[in-house]
Amino acid sequence: MKVAGEHYRTIWMDSETGLVSMIDQNALPFSFEIFKTRNFQATCHAISTMITRGAGAIGAAAGFAMAQAFLEGSKHLKVESSEFLSIVESARKEIEATRPTARNLFYATERVYNAGLISVENAVREAQLLADQNIADAKQIGEYGSKLINNGSRILTHCNAGWLGFVDYGSALAPMYIAKEQGKEFFVYADETRPRNQGARLTAWELQNEDIPHKIVPDNAGAYLMSRGMVDFVIVGADRIAANGDTANKIGTFEKAIVAKEFGIPFYVAVPFSTIDFSIADGTQIQIEERSEDEVLTYSGPDSEGVSRTIRMASPGSHAFNPAFDVTLSGFITGFITEKGILKPGELITSIL
């Protein structure tokens, strides 16, 4: 993506030093900042606190964190030693505990860990390869998905699955970016996506950056929009997909899918195959991350003088329940926009056989 005319990846690593740099998504849209981590613990912190977030970006960050663990361990121990192996195994567990619903995180740590057992240099190469593949897959998703977009299309999306959710291009927003490049004119409704407002803060920022017409809408406006014939189709991303097509995505996604089916509106999930967990049969086996109640009870942002402040929005003394994801059943999904094409839920498993 380009910001002020300069091209950026969402996250990248210096292969020589192990320094990982990433766009600080918690600072957006009010300021554009780069956050840097020098070790895997700091990268874990960036993942868990959502400095970097989104399926693809989490995967890339996890791969880089795993590579950092190999690099750090090799500075003090012989890579053939049991102590070295114990350190990287412990690091892997710590990385995988940061965002337990995100399939790409586990996919990346496994790939880089296995590569690192051959050599530290191989771990670094594998982490870089995963980031590059992330971009290639996202661009292919964009190419296939753009065929769904016509002049005048009105699209609803939930959460953020654009550049910021991947290393570049994104998943749900990638078709829109490719369609924009093709000269198509269309309109996007971006759900605010409580409680962290990734739609209002991140998706809207990306769309504005790309000069794509859009409006931010309340999360509970979806049924109104669809009942009034104001939405032609829905595109969302995903954090983990079961073999049968059941899909875990940001909380509130399942509600949109139910309403879309009621009004006969196509509902698409844009996702690379690295997000699909073929080891689980259905969505009941997906672990749902529960986050701090503070995300529901408070809101943070800069005041008129640019000073970041946190205020309470809810009744003092009340507590909150904050599941980060819900699971949309495969029967509510029209199709999956993947790097291999647009597939129906039942075609996911057959596509790898």
CATH number for the domain spanning 132: value is: 1.20.120.420
Q: Is 230 in the same domain as 180? A: yes
Instruction: Please give the pLDDT value at position 352.
Output: 78
Query: Is 143 part of any domain?
Result: no
Instruction: Please give the pLDDT value at position 82.
Output: 86
The residue range of the domain holding 317 is 148-350
Q: Is 97 in the same domain as 28? A: yes
**Whether 22 contacts 11, CB under 8 Å:** yes
Q: State pLDDT tens for residues 118-164.
A: 999 999 999 999 999 999 999 999 999 999 999 999 999 999 999 99
Q: State pLDDT tens for residues 163-189.
A: 999 999 999 999 999 999 999 999 999
Q: Is 190 in the same domain as 309? A: yes
Least confident residue range of 18-27, 93-102, 297-306: 297-306
Name the residue with higher pLDDT: 82 or 108.
108
Task: Select from 138, 156, 189 the last residue of a domain.
Answer: 138
Closest of 231, 236, 241, 226 to residue 268, by C-alpha: 236
Q: Is 194 in the same domain as 332? A: yes
Q: Does the pLDDT value for residue 100 go beyond 90?
A: yes
Length of the chain: 353
Average pLDDT over residues 269-275: 97
Q: Is 99 in the same domain as 168? A: no
Distance between CA 54 and CA 269 in Å, rounded? 14
**Whether 168 contacts 138, CB under 8 Å:** yes
Instruction: Please give the pLDDT value at position 2.
Output: 87
Q: Which residues contact 88 (CB under 8 A, 6 or more apart)?
A: 66, 69, 70, 73, 113, 116
Q: Rounded mean pLDDT of the chain?
A: 96
Q: What is the pTM of this model?
A: 0.95
Instruction: Classify 169 in phi/psi space as left (phi over 0), alpha (psi -120 to 50) or beta.
Output: left
Q: Does the pLDDT value for residue 332 go beyond 90?
A: yes
Task: Select from 138, 163, 194 the last residue of a domain.
Answer: 138
**Whether 48 contacts 98, CB under 8 Å:** yes
In the set 239, 246, 277, 326, the catalytic residue is 239
Q: Is 22 in the same domain as 165? A: no
Instruction: Please give the pLDDT value at position 7.
Output: 94
Q: State pLDDT tens for residues 188-242.
A: 999 999 999 999 999 999 999 999 999 999 999 999 999 999 999 999 999 999 9
pLDDT band at 247 (very low <50, low <70, confident <90, very high): very high
Instruction: Please give the pLDDT value at position 94.
Output: 98
- Residue entry with tokens 């890339």: 60
Phi, psi angles (nearest 5°) of residue 127: -65, -40
Q: What is the CATH number of the domain that holds 312?
A: 3.40.50.10470
Distance between CA 98 and CA 298 in Å, rounded? 22
How many other CB atoms sit within 10 Å of the CB of residue 244? Answer: 17
Instruction: Please give the pLDDT value at position 4.
Output: 87
Determine whether 14 is an active site residue.
no
Query: Is 180 part of any domain?
Result: yes
Structure tokens at 61: 């960050």
Q: Is 101 in the same domain as 178? A: no
Q: Is 218 in the same domain as 326? A: yes
Q: Does the pLDDT value for residue 37 go beyond 80?
A: yes
Q: State pLDDT tens for residues 46-76.
A: 999 999 999 999 999 999 999 999 999 888 7
Q: Which residues contact 16 (CB under 8 A, 6 or more apart)?
A: none
Distance between CA 121 and CA 93 in Å, rounded? 21
Q: Is 60 in the same domain as 87? A: yes
